[in-house]
Amino acid sequence: MSDSEQFASDNYSGICPQAWAAMDEANRMDEPAYGEDIWTARAADGLRALFDTDCDVFFTFNGTAANSLALASIGQSFHSVICHELAHIETDECGGPEYASNGSKLLPGEGRDGKLTPDSIEHLVTKRTDIHYPKPKAVSITQATEVGTVYTPDEIRAIRAVADKHKLNIHMDGARFANAVAALGVHPAEVTWKAGVDVLCFSGTKNGLAVGEAVVFFNRALAEDFEWRCKQAGQLASKMRFISAPWCGLMEDETWLGNARHANACADRLARGLLDIEGVSLRYPRQANGVFVELPQPVQDGLRANGWRFYNFIGGCSRLVCSWSTTEAQVDRFLADVRGLVE
């Protein structure tokens, strides 16, 4: 069994062919450094066209940096950011957002299926308004969420309504933004600026790049001096074109969306197959490219002994993630192995 027998994460996958081809093309020339090249201009223009609005676009190496720097640009060190208790920024970024902002505190909120609710936000903003409490300034939502669910445009607009009431900016962690857009079947604008999102961290890595996230400011006032923030944080790539050119590859012929649709379809096949097996249930509804499944311990052990790699976290269930490179045959091999172990 090869190393590719995995549902561990979408960042275990390689670089998709379109991104690779664009990188190869960018490699056939010399170009100015630090983002002054034609590829970076083209990628930023491509994202403006994609979102159908005049937004400010920056590129960082990874998602932790994108989220941390975007959140730092939203408030001061004495401000706080409301996020879901399962949010990556809260649980998996090693205090990066607090560090980048010189101390802004994250306030964990609640909601079913990994989705922060307007009520929870309202509660966190209003429970204290005195000077001893870090003043809420932003809401961060993850699309698709850490448990593979998606916020609908209506749900985002409802969060915007509370945000407006309390003068909060909205940050979206879009590590799996493409999968959410594919799942919802909406225009990317409908779940971002049209629904009131101020800044989006759009992941290229999990969609099929080697490296690189786009920080997209729809609220352009928040982007003031952001390039200096990136540079100071060590996030300004010298040979920027090798981050931006692959983005051009992703945007050509809607490759980003095709990759996400494929990953979601594989996850759907996987979820349906698992639900057909006696004694197997899903912890969260399958909406994007992740499947969160309760498997008996001996079945998990057997799968791992057969060479399958996947993670167990968030309440102990098994997380299975599909990507652009997952194949239907791979899904079917996994399902056959589960069936064999259950019997």
Ligand X SMILES: *Cc1c(COP(=O)(O)O)cnc(C)c1O
Residue numbers of the site for ligand X (CB under 6 A)?
62-64, 88, 142, 146, 173, 175, 205-206
Smallest separation, CB 200 to ligand X (Å): 12
Smallest separation, CB 314 to ligand X (Å): 11
* CB nearer to ligand X: pick between 101 and 142: 142
* CB nearer to ligand X: pick between 98 and 337: 98
Cα Rg, the chain, nearest whole Å:
20
Q: What gap in Å lies between CA 34 and CA 37, rounded to an integer?
A: 8
* CB nearer to ligand X: pick between 142 and 318: 142
Q: Which residue is nearest to ligand X (CB)?
A: 63
C-alpha dihedral sign at 44, 47, 53, 55 = negative
* CB nearer to ligand X: pick between 206 and 261: 206
CA separation, residue 136 to residues 177, 268, 335 (Å):
25, 38, 46
DSSP string, 231-250: HHTT---TTTHHHHHHHHHH
Smallest separation, CB 55 to ligand X (Å): 20
Q: What gap in Å lies between CA 228 and CA 42, rounded to an integer?
A: 21
Q: Which residue has the tokens 């170009």?
A: 31
Smallest separation, CB 246 to ligand X (Å): 15
* CB nearer to ligand X: pick between 282 and 314: 314
Which residues are CB-neighbours of 86 under 8 A, at least 6 positions away? 114, 145, 146, 147, 314
Smallest separation, CB 319 to ligand X (Å): 10
